[in-house]
Structure 1
Amino acid sequence: MRKRRTAEATEDPAGDRQFVAAIARGFDILHAFRAEDPILGNQELAERTGLPRATVSRLSHTLTRLGYLTYLPRYGKYQLGLGAVPLGQLALANMAIRRLAAPLMRRLAEETDASVSLGQRHGLSMLYVEHVSPRTAVALQLELGSRIPLAVTAMGRAYYAAAGEAERAEIEAALEPRLGADWPRIREGLHEAAAMHAAQGFALSPGDWNARVHAAGAAIPLPDGTILAMNCGAPAFMLPPERLLAEIGPRVAAVARRVESLAGGGSSRAD
């Protein structure tokens, strides 16, 4: 029986006659690879995408021929190929917001001894498009290109808080069948985060995604309608809830507003 696709998989939009499902399935394969899982076999790809094993085998062969995957005979598995590199580099190079945000993010990371990241929504995940680690041995093991869940992270909750009603409804409709019995609790967390973000300019995730990680996040709406979000996080023992609420949340909110202002959006409230 065909397995349900993962949250990151591209679904065929109902009634969209211009949508090419074969291309979408190819991107499903590429999106299955992550920094923490850089080598995957056809069986693992089938499990992650929900596609039939035979379809995955044809797609991985085609993507290898095109240079987007590299086959590793020693393991009988694949990794992303060099053909995928220019696409990601070009996309990041075109994001001028990264150049505006990076110095402010670096300063925040150094002053708080916490990791600071900038992300954009990708399905039901947030994708890191910029990342700065502090000069400490306990920095979080995440990096540029990492993906984190939207629903339970500070960055994702901040994004949700800034999204319009239609997008929030779409996010919730996609999350509910995937989360099952956990959905009421997670939905409540999203709604609480949206209320906090509206009142204080930031959202929190004190161990909701990873019990060992505490973080605060703030959304950055851009003039073109794009929404980015920034987070500031560290191991829980470094950011107890009281520091998260009193210091880290307000500071990441101030930096987010400064980036928004530099990008031509709202007025800055940063120092």
Structure 2
Amino acid sequence: MAAKRREAGGKPAAVAWHVPEEVPVAVVYDGLDHAIMLATPADLEDFAVGFSLSERVVDHLREILSIAIRQRAQGIDLKIAIDPRRLERLKLRQARRNLTGRSGCGVCGMDNAEMFFEPLAPVAATRRALDPAAVAKAVRQLADKQPLWRRNRSVHGAAWVVNDGAVALVREDVGRHNALDKLLGALVRQGSDLQAGFVLISSRCSYEIVEKAARLGVSALVGLSAPTAFAIRKAREARFSLNCYADGAIVQF
């Protein structure tokens, strides 16, 4: 994309900027339209798995029978076949609501306000204390592990970090929830032990980020900005280690 770069005291200079794509991705289960998310059109199989699990459409990877990606003139259809029992459960949910999500939307289309306060199952006996040195090591690696962000400075990253601080896997998207779903889906597809590391996200952490991670069994997360008060309450409810990295230190909430 053509743009102009201007520095203090200098003249504008023409530059080519790699602008990220943000396209409608329709999530369709066995012909049943479920959600339309604005997302970066990459790693969509991972997104399909992560979204299906974190939104409780299915309970296990084995209940996803197939995934097909279909390009349309104005977006993408993500066609997912699931276990018939889960499809019937989804139909009951669909009778109550429709879900249309922006790239930054994590609560669009909820049935009612009470769903915000559904308890999370504990993910650990006690909240983990992360090693500050390991977190700092991961933060230093993150930018180098985000090829899209290095090109456009416009996307979020969600990283899986093993306990010594090495970044093992990263997924990117214009939406932070989408980036996390892509990461979680990739980890589940690989059969990763979700207790053997932690998630590092390049954004703030709101309550739905905690919910998505905790539902899949992740026990710790670090954000690069502070979490919301509701996210903190949900994390404590689940004995989930919620942290913010700032000024070379980690703060556990």
Higher strand share: 2
Name whichever structure is richer in helix by fraction. Answer: 1
**TM-score, normalised relative to structure 2:** 0.25
Q: TM-score if structure 1 supplies the norm length?
A: 0.24
